[in-house]
Amino acid sequence: MLNNHLQPSFIREDPWRIFRIMAEFVDSFEILSRVGSAVTVFGSARMKPSNPYYKQTVELARMLARHNFAVITGGGPGIMEAANKGARQAKGRSVGLNIELPFEQKANRYANIPIHFHYFFSRKVCFVKYSIAFIFMPGGFGTLDEFFEVLTLVQTQRIPEYPMILFGRKHWEGLLKWMKERLEGNGYISPGDLNLVTLTDDPQEAVDLILDYERRVGPPEMVPKAFA
């Protein structure tokens, strides 16, 4: 039973918070359900346009859009901006799931399908629910958070075995080595779990992996949906 001093706060605030959460899901689901087959690109908000990874992300997103994939990002600067920019340059669907943060997150101008969120968790559901593949460019805590969350969902079979691509060997190979030695070596994950991830430096290889997956599972309407 709730303490008496907590009850007035719950009565005043929490029911309305639930409605706000529901509204975020309803609005975002309605929009994203119409974008078609999509690929989510994660990466650092702090990446500068002069960085080679920024330029590769623009090209990678451009290639995805030319193959009629919608490109979904967190809608902010850095890698997110690069992916939205590439998709828009190719006249594709450039989706930005933006959330306002106090220090670094501001919506970029390249998302032609912008959606704004207040809650992290509803935004994270939308990254996964409407994508058939995930590309993780170099990034910080947020990128690692999304990587391990998607990896856990696939490993536990809560979502299909979508392609998960770590782009940038120099950035990611140390983490994979540690996971091989410490996690698999100590039995904390199963042998073969790391095979769920592909490491590459080649935009074309990344696109080919996603195209191969789409060919194997059928047209977009037949692709299994996450959290169905």
Whether pTM exceeds 0.95 = no
CATH 3.40.50.2000 applies to domain 7-221: no
Q: Is the separation of the CB atoms in 47 and 74 below 8 Å?
A: no
Q: Residue 7 above 60 pLDDT?
A: no
The enclosing H or E element of 48 equals none
Q: How many residues does the chain have?
A: 228
CA distance 163 to 188: 22
Residue 155 binned pLDDT confidence (cut-offs 50, 70, 90): very high
pLDDT over 70 for what percent of the chain? 88
CA distance 152 to 117: 23
Q: Is the separation of the CB atoms in 175 and 143 below 8 Å?
A: no
Q: How confident is the model over 45-87, as pLDDT tens digits?
A: 999 999 999 999 999 999 999 999 999 999 999 999 999 999 9
Report which of residues 158 and 227 the model is more confident about. 158
Q: Name the burial class of residue 204, with classes exposed (0-12), middle (13-18) and buried (19+) by CB atoms within 10 angstroms of its CB.
A: exposed
Does residue 72 sit in helix, strand or coil?
Answer: strand
Q: How confident is the model over 159-174, as pLDDT tens digits?
A: 999 999 999 999 999 9
Average pLDDT over residues 82-103: 91
Predicted pLDDT at 124 = 93
CA distance 79 to 99: 15
Q: How confident is the model over 186-220, as pLDDT tens digits?
A: 999 999 999 999 999 999 999 999 999 999 987 65
CA distance 14 to 207: 44
161: tokens are: 């075995």
- Which residues fall within 8 angstroms of residue 46, CB to CB, at 6 or more apart? 77, 78, 104, 140
The whole-chain average pLDDT of the chain stands at: 91
